Amino acid sequence: MRRNLASWDAYDAFLFDIDGTLLTCTDAVHYFAFCHVLESIAGKPLTLEGVTAHGNTDLGILRDALSLAGVREDTWRPMLPQIQETLCGFVRKRESELCTTILPGVRDVLDHLTGREAVLGVATGNLEAIGQMKLKRAGLLAYFRFGGWSNGFEIRAHVFDAAAAQARSLAGAQASVCVVGDTPADIRAARENGLNVIGVATGIYNRDELAAAQPDLCLNSLAELPIPAHSTRNAHALRA
């Protein structure tokens, strides 16, 4: 169902992607974590060249990179729990190096939805520990009651399915759920799960590219969403 811009906030629950939607990371810690893990598996230096990272999951990125390098799945899949921990551990040791920037309109939107008592969660390709570190560094973690992470999931639609189930366990079985994401993959994953979706062109895809995937709303940034002035004033007063 297409949503009028004025009623964008009428959903019971929202699932936010992280990278390119809520924030950007100007460091390369996550990237080098992949390179470290890939080399430990393949026994030679590997990069993410040729791998689609945006809109993918951490496990999907690892799978695709190893496939491109010709590494057989049966040599690494049995070690997947250890691989996930190694990836997270690399970032954890360098957490202080994470350089996050909150994207336009994000904090006002989260404050407004929190004031409306909407259920807020994340639905992301990040592994849980990595996603939480990014949100913590940006000062956004406290907004979210739960997370749909890629631990155990290679396919984004499966992450969204799990996140939507968590949202409805909190907001009610018939709750309306809306995804907010910055890639066509977010829009497709939302549609596969029967979810509404707002596309926001603050990642690598422009508005026209997102609009082609037919989200319910398509924005240049979350700053375009109308928020009542009293909502913003109340949020600023609480943070003061």
Say yes or no: 140 and 44 in one domain.
Answer: no
Written as one letter, the residue type at 143 is: Y
Question: Based on the structure, what is the number of domains in the chain?
Answer: 2
Say yes or no: 128 and 169 in one domain.
Answer: yes
Domain that holds residue 55: 29-97
Mark the ranges of the chain whose per-residue pLDDT is less than 70: 1-3, 230-240
Say yes or no: 109 and 80 in one domain.
Answer: no
Say yes or no: 76 and 160 in one domain.
Answer: no
Say yes or no: 121 and 215 in one domain.
Answer: yes
pLDDT at 234: 55
Backbone angles phi, psi at 121, to 5 degrees: -145, 175
Say yes or no: 157 and 185 in one domain.
Answer: yes
**43-77 tens-digit pLDDT:** 999 999 999 999 999 999 999 999 999 999 999 99
Q: Which of 49, 72, 97 is the last residue of a domain?
A: 97
Say yes or no: 92 and 122 in one domain.
Answer: no
Asked if residue 22 lies in contact with residue 108, where contact means CB atoms within 8 angstroms, the answer is no
| CATH number of the domain that residue 206 is part of | 3.40.50.1000
Q: Which of 41, 68, 97 is the last residue of a domain?
A: 97
Distances (CA, A) of 192 to 94, 155, 161, 179: 36, 11, 9, 12
Say yes or no: 200 and 107 in one domain.
Answer: yes
Say yes or no: 123 and 12 in one domain.
Answer: yes
pLDDT at 237: 47
> Rounded CA gap, 38 and 12, in Å?
40
